[in-house]
């Protein structure tokens, strides 16, 4: 199977946002603009995340999903506020292909089995948000890295698989948005327990980071990437952004991007990986 390159689009209200360690969110633009651009430029899938859904106990992306699905013809995974079977049904009927679940699975692990039995394992993706502790244990968090659970991430991976989940999205909250590279120690621990597809998210700052981790862990099925792609897109999106005045956008109007991030085009990353003998789907 080819390695999947998956832009992650975090959404708050009507806007794409991006932060560091899942905090300090900056408004970047409209989700449908980002999604269409990524689809037209070689993304294998898209990951939409409602980053405030858990606070309000609902997913509010239905209209955004419908708008995206009319223009984008690659798989779309949607997460945030997925609490029950009705929520899953609503998101799928809006045009999503898969759902990403974290809080509801932590609170009631049997929900994973119930969801997989009703919608199929391949539809049910479990998000694991991990923060490394001072004793070097990796523990799971919920609500965009805000809520402590005390659950060991390595043990949780085994349970997720036993309950019938079809895929895992693993986020290192410590690395997310920093551009410092992936937490290879965490990935190694997870891969040792793994029997279902794994998507890695959190830490990509350069094409080299993706290549090195892909080479070290061929078990990885894909990378969820935000900052590297978003800040490249914003340069091409400049004319539109000058007319986009919602929220604090001085940062993007000045063409800035966080330290440690080397913005790149999806196809540039894919070509780089391909030339270094990583199997990817070229556009």
What is 49-107 written as a DSSP string?
EETTHHHHTS---HHHHHHHHTT--S-EEEESS--SHHHHHHHHHHT-SEEEESHHHHH
Say what the pLDDT of residue 21 is: 66
Asked if the model's pLDDT at residue 239 lies above 60, the reply is no
What local confidence, expressed as pLDDT, does residue 29 receive? 82
pLDDT at 250: 62
Superfamily (CATH) of domain 4-275:
Aldolase class I (3.20.20.70)
Helix (H) or strand (E) segment spanning residue 18: strand 15-20
Percent of the chain's residues with pLDDT above 90: 67
For 283, residues 6+ apart whose C-beta sits below 8 A from its C-beta are: 41, 42, 266, 267, 270
Q: State whether the Cα torsion 88-94-99-104 is positive or negative.
A: negative
pLDDT of residue 251: 61
Segment 244-264 mean pLDDT: 68
47-51, 123-127, 129-133, 273-277: least confidently modelled range: 47-51
The predicted-structure confidence for 147-157, as pLDDT tens digits, reads as follows 889 999 999 99
Residue 86 banded pLDDT, cuts 50, 70, 90: very high
- Active-site positions read 10, 129
Query: Residue range 163-185: average pLDDT?
Result: 94
């Amino acid at each position: 199977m080819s390695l999947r390159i998956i832009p992650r689009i975090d959404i708050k209200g009507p806007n794409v946002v991006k932060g560091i360690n899942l905090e300090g969110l900056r408004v970047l633009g409209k989700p449908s603009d980002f999604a269409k651009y990524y689809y037209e430029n070689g993304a294998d899938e898209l990951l939409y995340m409602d980053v405030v859904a858990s606070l309000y106990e609902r997913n509010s992306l239905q209209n955004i999903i419908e708008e995206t699905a009319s223009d984008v013809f690659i798989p779309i995974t949607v997460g945030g506020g997925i609490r029950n079977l009705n929520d899953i049904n609503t998101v799928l009927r809006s045009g999503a292909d898969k759902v990403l679940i974290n809080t509801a699975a932590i609170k009631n692990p049997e929900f994973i089995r119930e969801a997989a039995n009703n919608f199929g394992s391949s539809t049910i993706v479990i998000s694991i948000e991990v923060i490394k502790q001072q004793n070097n244990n990796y523990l799971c968090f919920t609500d965009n890295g805000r809520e402590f659970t005390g659950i060991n991430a390595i043990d949780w991976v085994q349970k997720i698989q036993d309950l019938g989940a079809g895929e895992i999205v693993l986020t290192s909250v410590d690395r997310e948005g920093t551009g410092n590279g992936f937490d290879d120690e965490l990935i190694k621990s997870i891969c040792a327990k793994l029997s279902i597809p794994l998507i890695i998210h959190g830490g990509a700052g350069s094409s080299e980071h993706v290549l090195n981790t892909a080479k070290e862990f061929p078990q990885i099925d894909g990378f969820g990437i935000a900052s590297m792609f978003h800040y490249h897109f914003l340069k091409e999106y400049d004319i539109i952004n000058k007319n986009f005045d919602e929220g604090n956008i001085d940062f993007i109007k000045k063409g800035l991007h966080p330290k440690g991030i080397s913005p790149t085009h999806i196809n540039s990353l894919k070509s780089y990986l391909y030339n270094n003998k990583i199997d990817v789907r070229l556009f």
